[in-house]
Amino acid sequence: MEKRDLIYEGKAKKVYATDDPANLIVCYKDDATAFDGMKKGIICGKGAVNNRMSNYLMQKLSEKGIPTHFFEELNDRETLVRKVAIIPLEIIVRNISAGHFSSRYGVEEGIVFDTPVVEFSYKNDELHDPLLNDDHAVALKLASRKEIELIRSYALRINECLKEILSEAGITLVDFKLEFGKTDDGSLILADEISPDTCRFWDSMTGEKLDKDRFRRDLGNVEDAYLEMQRRLLGE
Ligand code: TMP
Ligand code: ASP
């Protein structure tokens, strides 16, 4: 597979074309941002951790029947993925109150919900990713009602799979963000990444935060948290 032009550079990843129009190469960076890019930094080694962890989890999900963009891990930071048109929705699943749920609704962090909360945001940095509901998403033609229903059911199944994998590693899955995309033939598949950048992971015994909140909130030991998550899930 030949790597060709850089076609997109996001806050945490670069995307390259390949000689196959159906595939792209994603390259994970060490750059970290928070608060719509207002806060910037570097988390050394993050790119490699996120690449490998995301690939591991996507392969596990695919074994459970969730279609994903994962194709082949090329090296520490680069992965061959199926090309999709990203649906500009951020799908957030929450099991425990934290982050924006707590600040928006004025509740403490750590309240365990009876059932998961699925939330949609419009992926648009200029507008600060506003929260929206199904009707808004359909009105804005971001996705059809049928697609939104499918996304919701995938998101809940993904939550169950991830919770199980993580609990075996002594990690509580607090919440996470997903993005889906559409292939040229119109099928909906999981895209983007599943990593400490996009999830909240708490140590099940101590409650210690092992995710990007350490960077967002200046908690220190940021690199260590990413490496600890890698060790727990990939054993190295
Ligand atoms: P929130 O509580 O800030 O809304 O975050 C919910 C989850 O989504 C959390 O696991 C972190 C993740 N997330 C992203 O992946 N990207 C983002 O831009 C934001 C704000 C959150
Ligand atoms: N990725 C987001 C940004 O910079 C924020 C976050 O993950 O908190 O803007």
How many angstroms separate the alpha carbon of residue 92 from the centre of ligand 1? 7
pLDDT-based confidence at 125, cuts 50/70/90? Answer: confident
Decide: 37 in ligand 2 pocket, CB within 6 A: yes
Q: What is the 3-state secondary structure (H, E, C) of 103-152?
A: HHHCCCCCCEEEEEEEEEEECCHHHCCCEECHHHHHHCCCCCHHHHHHHH
Report whether residue 163 contacts ligand 2, using a CB cutoff of 6 Å.
no
Q: Are the C-beta atoms of residues 139 and 133 closer than 8 Å to each other?
A: no
Per-residue pLDDT at 86 exceeds 90 = yes
Section 7-26 average pLDDT: 97
Phi first, then psi, for residue 177 (nearest 5°) are -120, 135
Q: Is the CB of 235 under 6 A from ligand 2?
A: no
pLDDT tens-digit readout, 147-187: 999 999 999 999 999 999 999 999 999 999 999 999 999 99
Q: Which ligand is nearest to the CA of 179?
A: 1
Distances (CA, A) of 186 to 83, 99, 151, 192, 218: 12, 34, 14, 17, 42
Mean pLDDT computed over 103-109: 98
Predicted pLDDT at 173 = 99
DSSP 23: E
Neighbours of 60 (CB within 10 A): 17
Mean pLDDT of the chain: 97
44-63 tens-digit pLDDT:
999 999 999 999 999 999 99
Question: What burial class does residue 51 get, using C-beta atoms within 10 Å of its C-beta: 0-12 exposed, 13-18 middle, 19+ buried?
Answer: buried
Q: What is the 128 CA–ligand 2 centroid distance (Å)?
A: 10
Atom of ligand 2 nearest to the CA of 37: 4
Confidence tier at 1 by pLDDT (50, 70, 90): confident
The SS3 assignment for 13 reads strand
Residue 189: pLDDT above 80? yes
Q: Report how far residue 55's alpha carbon sits from residue 79's, in angstroms, rounded to the nearest whole number.
A: 8
Over 80: is that where the pLDDT of 236 sits? no
Lowest mean pLDDT across 92-101, 123-132, 200-209: 123-132
User: Going by C-beta distance under 8 Å and a sequence separation of 6 or more, which residues neighbour residue 210?
Assistant: 171, 196, 201, 202, 203, 225, 228, 229, 232
Q: Is 177 in the pocket of ligand 1 (CB under 6 A)?
A: yes
Q: Please list the residues that pair with 20 across neighbouring strands.
A: none
Q: What is the pLDDT of residue 157?
A: 98
Express as a percent the part of the chain with pLDDT over 70: 100
Tell me the one-letter amino acid at 198: T
Average pLDDT in the 59-69 region?
A: 98
Q: What is the pLDDT of residue 68?
A: 98
